[in-house]
Amino acid sequence: MQHRSVSRRSTQSAVRGLGALGVVAAVLGGVAAGGLTVGADRAQAASGSEVVVTAAAQDADILTAPFPNLTVTVSQTTDLQAQGILVSWTGASRSTPPSSQSGGANYLQIAQCWGDDPDNPGQPDRRTCQYGAVAAPGASRDSVRSDPASVAAEDEQFTVPASGFASPTYTSIPFIARNGEVISSIDQVDGANVANNSNVNSNKFFTKLTTNEVSWAGSGDDGTGSAKFEIQTAAQAPGLGCGEPVTDTATGVVTGASCWLVIIPRGTADVGESTNIRSGLFWDAWKHNIAVKLDFRALGTRCALGASERQLAGSELVSAAIASWQPALCAASGGSIYSSITGAESDAAAAANGKATAPLALTSRALDNGTTDSLRYAPIALTGVALSFAIDRFPDAFGGAPQDALNRSQLPFSSMKLTPRLVAKLLTNSYLQSLPYSSDRTHLGYTSAQDPGHNAQNLTSDPDFLAINDPEWAYQAITSPAIADLLVPQGRSDAAWAVWTYVLSDADAVKFLSGTPDPWGMKVNPWSSITAAINPSGTALTLPRDNFPKADPVEVPANDQAGAVNLVTWRPYTADFDTAAYLTLRGDGQVLGSWDLLATPPKYTKTARDLPGFQKVMSVTDTASAARYAVVTAALRNPSGVFVTPTTQSLLAAAAVMTPNTKQSQVFGFDPTSTGAKGAADAYPLAMPVFAAASPTMTDAAVRASYAAFIRYASTTGQTPGTVLGQLPDGYAPMPTAWRALAESAAAAIASGSTGSTSRPPTSTSGSTNTSSGFGATDTSVPQPEATGDPAGALAGPVTKDDPDMGLVSSVVPLVGGGGIAALLAIPLIARIRRPL
Amino acid sequence: MLALLRVGRMPLPPSGCRPEYKKWITVKIRKAVALSAAIGVAIAGISLSVPANADPVSPGYSIVGSDTLQDAVNALVNGTSISGTFVRVTAGGNPVGSFDATGSAAIQLKPGGPYIGRPSGSGDGKKALSRALDGNNWAKNNITANVVGQVDLARSSSGASTTTGNGDINASGPLVFIPFGRDAVSYAFRFGAGKTLADAPGLDSLSAAQLLQIFNGVTTTIGTVTVVPKLPQASSGTRQFFLGAIGAGSTSNPAGVPDAATTTTVENDGGAFGTPAAGTVQIFPFSAASWIAQVNGATPINTTGVAALGSAGGTAPFTGTSPLVPNSAFYSSTTWGRDVYIIAPAAKILPGASFDQDLADLVDPTKTSSLTYFGASASPATSKAVKLRFGFLTPSTTATFRTNYFS
């Protein structure tokens, strides 16, 4: 039961994977473009499409508008795909948050709609909006009306008149999908409106878990505010059909179907009510809407059925790039469909290292399992790990904050700095709030609420953090387990290895992990210590490692009021890096709720995600996902002592000083202990290359040729930054020329099957190289659970003519306890499809 | 005299039992007998005049659920003169039995009916009524029983849920929520020995952000006083509403209130304070209507003692001193105010095969003699007048709404 949230998430992604077409892939653009890109780099952004609109220009009924001076800026309106954008505004008023019986006061609602209003050309049709799924007061499609006289004339056709106190006046706005299907809870019977039993708020087109509507977005004292908005294409919202290809019959040009972004301002109360409790689609609220046209990239062409399918397996970091390259590759004559399986890179490399036909491995580190490495490694992407966050200001309400800090309450923080020691604290459950509140936390120095010891409650109250960050952080009083640790994925990855390597490169962080208190007396959680003597398990934590263990076995025992809570119940894993960024966008810290005694079976509920203005969550993700969801990323202190955020420039600066692995010179990486790294002031310390690796000894020449074609495309055309299919998405830096040359020679070797000497790495600086040395016992001192049972086969679509024998793959790629293979799916594209989060 | 048995308090013996309460008490079962006859044993026709709990077995209609409304509903269905005139609400002459949220673990609602686990709070009330209509068993306090025909109405201090298919709004749904009145939630506080309000300036007027910091454990001291926050148990409607109002999230477990010692208090009961330790002040959420009703003597027992009710958000919850009068400025706040409801089966109050005129009139807000009346009449002979004395104000809307079953 403790793993409920974890397993449910994995199961759901597995289910969605099965739902996605195994072989034939509708290309679903998963590429971010513009908006808040990685860091401040807008090179790939369609930055010219920012739009500013005002209520004065759009609202014909401005005299009754809640905010006559409202001005809204939308960060990107063209070339859109499934991504995040930023909506910001001025001219509103200080908001009141919603309650269980009221939608709040003075706020904005944001929704995505697809159709034009036939009665009001140039305006969106409220019946086409994805709105109401939240089903909270003020945020539904239908409601009863307290006063029949308050029903506007335009709502009459959607209204059932009252018939007695138990059947009050009822208005319900139907939803009309792009394909013409209508969801309505009102029928016409003998010319009169009658309620039927349909649920207009949760239906086949949208539910509370899939909707992207923002039901409440508040403003500060100065009437300004902003909110991230998740743009959905036809893949995530089929009822809206945004981005579906539309061919102009005259010119033959294919564009994506356009949609609307609609902002509905709400004042202090609905007409005829004492508070905001009725639908924002009812005419009296809807008539004040401000709308912006959204132009979408056409969702790409399908790959033809029956074309040969090739498997790629391993790194999740390159998924977004493969999603962009894949349709261009299969559209080329003789092109294959490259379907991607995400899992532990080391497993994929091990599987590829031999004569048997195996998926093309995608890895960032060299194979290191004791066998002879016959792989040829081709660099195909330069990306990185990002620590993303969504933290809104909550200044101390007891006089600890100056007035201007109080005035900025609820506005989001846009930057933070982290050192390796801070990252170590976040990864080792050393902050008090990262352990269950009613658990025994004496091993962190905590005695009672009055005597909490020297370990800080969470990151924002840690003097170590406050010392290097903007002084405004010191005025905050934010509490949440989600800022006492990082949302991390389960499973093994090279990205985890890179994060731990970064942490270990810093003497302060190593001292902290060894058990020495930091200058303010904070001590590492001993269960995660690298010193065996203080680690209660008797063995030290082996670092670096390729996963993010939750090592503390703390548990709040079950009682008759509630079930047990252990660390994984308290702080669940995410499924992957993409999910972590998505949760950060939505402000969902995965915080545990209360025990539902009357559920069957009784279980813990989850606290709902925070509204914009009240968000507090941090996560480990990759730079491509961070760019796509437009989440803010932390600046990390690099070995040169400079705090750097991930941008194209900082990734390239890190690439310039990457050093080769001592045992496998084809593979290089950013070694924070190397001299070059210490001299690179602009380098982002978590930059990572991704290599495609295959063995020239593989017997199937056709497969090797396909792999070589993939590598050649990825390393040349695929490195052109842009938002067009086939190009390099935001969050990746185009590879240096030297890398491309290496990729070409590796591709040639793989294609020809020659096992000649490998070429030199692009840089060779003196100093220590990217080895796998670490601290603690070198072997698996933390015993890994044994996998039992038959390993599950990889899930794939129907067999095509060039399919490899999947039986070999399934036996070579083991399922390791702890979720070694996070999602064995044959999804050709890693695209987010209607996540139920 | 109906004395309310609450956990942790000795029941007061009735003083001057009013004859009008006695005359309709039909069946009283002694506790020991009740517990031993846990399942399916009907004991009818035994008439004992016992003074104790408000658990009459009712040959008419039964109503269970929320603690917040129970005092007012009890008074209305049992008959009360609190408004100056005797008021008793019946369903076409049939008595209505209102069952407390707390008391014995098992109750028998109707003669010949099963003993069931007592629904305790709004959530239980919604679910018990749903089970009475959909025929599934009601399991509570280790007693599982079929309650079809046993539960007729529910009291609730919270509205619809937002979970699809589980108590969410459905215009054709089987449950109808009828506004009963408007309550508001503030916080009560009581000092331990040696400290007074002068030592903790501002404690009597905390904002939502300040309350959030206290319940999150960020702020543990105000002035020279240590602050100890407490909360009712997880399914309490008052707890969920209060946590939602201060921004902690209605289903959360805030950091400042982690242990069993601070989270299992009953709702709206000053006994939860116990004796605060010297140098500390305890605070926990409290319904303003319940507070006002207790201080005004409308309820049989006043648990408030030496505690005080704070002005959440800076607005006083009541005005006056004797009697206390609810402050409409506080009650109308969308943050702190909440409508409370009576829940009825849609099939029985809408035209159709199951239509029950008596039940419909019992909950019809247009009828001055119904439970839910809060109209324009100023007559003390209406249920409105009684509810005002119990600290409720006019609900923000009289529009009813329908939901799906709660599970």
Residue-wise pLDDT for A179-230, tens only, equals 999 999 999 999 899 988 888 998 999 988 889 999 999 998 889 999 999 9
Q: What is the pLDDT of residue A46?
A: 44
Mutate to test the interface with B, among A142, A398, A447 (most CBs of B within 10 A): A398
More confident of the two residues A107 and B276: A107
Mutate to test the interface with B, among A107, A167, A478 (most CBs of B within 10 A): A167
Beta carbons of B400 and A592 less than 8 Å apart: no
Q: What is the pLDDT of residue A759?
A: 52
Beta carbons of A145 and B401 less than 8 Å apart: no
Q: Which of B159, B213, B217 lies nearest to residue A101, judging by beta carbons? A: B159
Q: Which residues of A touch B339 (CB under 8 A)?
A: 101
Mean pLDDT of A74-84: 90
A598 confidence band (pLDDT: 50, 70, 90): low
Q: Measure B280 CA to nearest chain A CA, in Å.
A: 11
Q: Which residues of B touch A394 (CB under 8 A)?
A: 209
Task: Tell whether B384 is within 8 A of chain A (Cβ).
Answer: no
Q: Which residues of B touch A614 (CB under 8 A)?
A: 247
Task: Tell whether B245 is within 8 A of chain A (Cβ).
Answer: yes
Which region among A632-636, A828-832, B276-280, B377-381 has the lowest average model confidence (pLDDT)?
A828-832
Q: Which of B124, B216, B245 lies nearest to residue A99, judging by beta carbons? A: B245
Q: What is the pLDDT of residue A728?
A: 95
A530-551 per-position pLDDT tens digit:
999 999 999 999 999 999 999 9
Beta carbons of A104 and B127 less than 8 Å apart: no
Q: What is the pLDDT of residue A792?
A: 56
For B:3-42, CB contacts with A below 8 A are none
Q: What percent of chain A has pLDDT over 70?
A: 84
Q: Which of A101, A145, A561 lies nearest to residue B399, judging by beta carbons? A: A145
**Main-chain dihedrals φ then ψ at residue B61, nearest 5 degrees:** -110, 155
Q: Measure A186 CA to nearest chain B CA, in Å.
A: 10
d(CA B56, CA B14): 16
d(CA A106, CA A118): 30
Contact B203, B310 (CB under 8 A): yes
Rounded to the nearest 10 degrees, how much is the dihedral formed by the CA atoms of B55, B56, B61, B64? 0
Q: Which residues of A touch B360 (CB under 8 A)?
A: 166
Mean pLDDT of B222-238: 87
Please give the residue of chain A at the shortest CA–CA distance from B256.
Answer: A449
Mean pLDDT of B31-59: 43
Rounded to the nearest 10 degrees, how much is the dihedral formed by the CA atoms of B285, B363, A100, A195? 170
Beta carbons of B171 and A172 less than 8 Å apart: yes
B345-375 per-position pLDDT tens digit:
999 999 999 999 999 999 999 999 899 999 9
- What type of residue sits at position A798? P
Tokens describing residue A581: 């960024």
Q: What is the pLDDT of residue B45?
A: 36
Q: What is the pLDDT of residue A743?
A: 96
| A24 has a pLDDT exceeding 70 | no
| A449 has a pLDDT exceeding 90 | no
Residue A534, helix vs strand vs coil: coil
Q: E strands within B49-114?
A: 61-65, 96-98, 106-108
A605 confidence band (pLDDT: 50, 70, 90): confident
Please count the residues of chain B.
407
B58 confidence band (pLDDT: 50, 70, 90): low
Beta carbons of A597 and B250 less than 8 Å apart: no
Q: Which residues of B touch A201 (CB under 8 A)?
A: 164, 168-169
Beta carbons of A595 and B244 less than 8 Å apart: no
Mutate to test the interface with B, among A199, A276, A478 (most CBs of B within 10 A): A199
Beta carbons of B218 and A477 less than 8 Å apart: yes
Q: What is the pLDDT of residue A709?
A: 94
Q: What is the pLDDT of residue A301?
A: 62
| Contacts with A827 (C-beta within 8 Å, 6 or more apart), sequence order | A17, A20, A25, A339, A340
Q: What is the pLDDT of residue A643?
A: 98
Q: What is the pLDDT of residue A596?
A: 75
Q: Measure B54 CA to nearest chain A CA, in Å.
A: 25
Average pLDDT taken over every residue of chain B? 84
| Chain A with chain B: Cβ pairs closer than 8 A | 173
Mutate to test the interface with B, among A159, A202, A437 (most CBs of B within 10 A): A437
Task: Tell whether B207 is within 8 A of chain A (Cβ).
Answer: yes
More confident of the two residues A772 and A338: A338
Q: What is the pLDDT of residue B262?
A: 67
Mean pLDDT of B280-301: 92
| B303 has a pLDDT exceeding 60 | yes
Q: What is the pLDDT of residue A829?
A: 38
Task: Tell whether B260 is within 8 A of chain A (Cβ).
Answer: yes
A145 confidence band (pLDDT: 50, 70, 90): very high
d(CA A46, CA A28): 19
Q: Which residues of A touch B255 (CB under 8 A)?
A: 433, 437, 457, 479
Q: Which residues of A touch B346 (CB under 8 A)?
A: 166
Q: What is the pLDDT of residue B390?
A: 94
| A365 has a pLDDT exceeding 50 | yes
Tokens describing residue B7: 């956990």
Report the interhelical angle of B237-246 vs B208-215 (nearest 10°).
Answer: 110
| A130 has a pLDDT exceeding 60 | yes
Contact A173, A142 (CB under 8 A): yes
Task: Tell whether B261 is within 8 A of chain A (Cβ).
Answer: no
Mean pLDDT of A253-282: 94
Beta carbons of A146 and B235 less than 8 Å apart: no
Please count the residues of chain A.
837
B132-191 per-position pLDDT tens digit:
999 999 999 899 999 999 999 999 998 888 778 889 888 889 999 999 999 999 999 999
Q: Which of A99, A168, A172 lies nearest to residue B334, judging by beta carbons? A: A99
Q: Which of A398, A437, A608 lies nearest to residue B258, judging by beta carbons? A: A437
Query: Across the strands, what pairs with A85?
Result: A229
Q: Measure A671 CA to nearest chain B CA, in Å.
A: 40
Beta carbons of B334 and A96 less than 8 Å apart: yes
For B:314-353, CB contacts with A below 8 A are 332, 334-335, 337-339, 344, 346, 349-351
ipTM: 0.81
Please give the residue of chain B at the shortest CA–CA distance from A451.
Answer: B220
Average pLDDT taken over every residue of chain A? 85
Q: Which residues of B touch A185 (CB under 8 A)?
A: 171-172
| B116 has a pLDDT exceeding 70 | yes
CATH superfamily of B185-331: Periplasmic binding protein-like II (3.40.190.10)
**Distances from the Cα of A281 to the Cαs of A405, B342, B393, in angstroms?**
36, 29, 30
Contact A99, B335 (CB under 8 A): yes
A741-764 per-position pLDDT tens digit:
999 999 999 999 887 665 555 544
Q: What is the pLDDT of residue B357?
A: 93
Q: What is the pLDDT of residue B237?
A: 81
d(CA A15, CA A31): 23
Q: Measure B12 CA to nearest chain A CA, in Å.
A: 30
> How buried is residue A808: exposed, middle or buried, by Cβ count under 10 Å (0-12/13-18/19+)?
middle
Task: Pinpoint the residues of chain B covered by CATH 3.40.190.10.
Answer: 185-331
B56 confidence band (pLDDT: 50, 70, 90): low
| A259 has a pLDDT exceeding 50 | yes
More confident of the two residues A262 and A19: A262
Beta carbons of A396 and B176 less than 8 Å apart: no
- Beta-sheet strand order (sheet of A159-160): A142-144, A170-172, A159-160
Q: Which residues of B touch A136 (CB under 8 A)?
A: 162
- What type of residue sits at position A366? A
Give the start-to-end residue ranges of the domains of chain A.
Answer: 29-296, 387-637
Task: Tell whether B141 is within 8 A of chain A (Cβ).
Answer: no
| A822 has a pLDDT exceeding 70 | no
Q: Which of A144, A561, A608 lies nearest to residue B401, judging by beta carbons? A: A144
Contact A265, A224 (CB under 8 A): no
Q: What is the pLDDT of residue A400?
A: 86
Mean pLDDT of A612-638: 95
d(CA A260, CA B357): 50
Q: Which of A96, A145, A477 lies nearest to residue B213, judging by beta carbons? A: A477
Beta carbons of B252 and A100 less than 8 Å apart: no
d(CA A808, CA A356): 8
Tokens describing residue B151: 């539960």
Q: What is the pLDDT of residue A221?
A: 85
Q: Which residues of A touch B312 (CB under 8 A)?
A: none
Q: Which residues of B touch A160 (CB under 8 A)?
A: 171
Q: Which of A136, A398, A449 lies nearest to residue B162, judging by beta carbons? A: A136
Q: What is the pLDDT of residue A302?
A: 62
Q: What percent of chain B has pLDDT over 90?
A: 57
